[in-house]
């Protein structure tokens, strides 16, 4: 596993073998980042279910201002710490060892909002809609922000309140859906 673009391009990311995780394949990551490249500069990013930190690190490499890495697996947290230290991006990172619910509560209570949210939970949980609904309820996504979802069996709608599906693609058994937070302005 490696960083595919940006200032850290070509550097190896530890953690492809963390038990209970499944890293995003390079070709899928390349497609995602090709789609969202215009959203990345100076963005605040949430890498929820971060695993190795692969997606958040890629975002920082491509100009994200800051990334919050969240995972409930202590092995993953230790690998994220190693990767962040290796890439010398501690000043652009916060790591939370917590489950997704408590982390989303924390962001809400701390008034932290995001431009980009990556959601890549273990497929067996089928919790994507729960995450979407909590992100909407807590208003955690900035206007015109995007949420990128990676899943296998969840059934998702084309629209969730202000979130509009802007891209979806199937890669083998997995799906990538990208929603944009479009808030309608009243004149």
**Domain tally, the chain:** 1
Q: In what order do the strands lie in the sheet with 93-97?
A: 93-97, 66-71, 44-48, 114-119, 141-151, 174-181, 163-171, 159-160
Q: Has residue 18 been placed in a domain? A: no
Ranges of the chain with pLDDT below 70: 19-23, 184-187
Q: Has residue 71 been placed in a domain? A: yes
pLDDT digits (tens, 9 = 90+) for 10-51: 999 998 777 666 667 778 899 999 999 999 999 999 999 999
Q: Has residue 95 been placed in a domain? A: yes
H-helix or E-strand spanning residue 57: helix 54-61
Q: Has residue 69 been placed in a domain? A: yes
Report the CATH number at residue 117: 3.40.50.150
pTM for the model stands at 0.94
Helices marked H in 69-162: 74-86, 100-109, 128-137
Strands 163-171 and 66-71: unpaired
* Three-class secondary structure of residue 127 per DSSP: coil
pLDDT of res. 22 = 63
pLDDT of res. 184 = 63
Q: Has residue 47 been placed in a domain? A: yes
pLDDT of res. 63 = 98
């Amino acid at each position: 596993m490696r960083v595919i673009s940006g200032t850290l391009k070509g550097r190896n990311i530890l953690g492809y073998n963390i038990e209970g995780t499944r890293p995003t394949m390079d070709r899928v990551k390349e497609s995602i980042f090709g789609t969202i490249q215009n959203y990345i500069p100076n963005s605040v990013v949430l890498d929820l279910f971060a695993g190795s930190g692969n997606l958040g690190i890629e975002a920082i490499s491509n100009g994200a201002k800051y990334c919050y890495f969240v995972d409930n697996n202590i092995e993953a947290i230790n690998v994220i710490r190693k990767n962040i230290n290796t890439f010398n991006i501690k000043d652009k990172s916060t790591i939370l060892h917590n489950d997704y619910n408590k982390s989303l509560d924390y962001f809400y209570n701390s008034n932290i909002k995001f431009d980009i949210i990556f959601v890549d939970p273990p497929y067996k949980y089928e919790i994507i809609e729960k995450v979407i609904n909590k992100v909407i309820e807590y208003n955690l996504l900035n206007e015109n922000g995007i949420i990128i979802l990676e899943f296998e069996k969840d059934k998702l709608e084309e629209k969730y309140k202000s979130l509009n599906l802007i891209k979806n693609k199937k890669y083998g058994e997995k799906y990538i859906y990208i929603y944009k937070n479009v808030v309608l302005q009243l004149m």
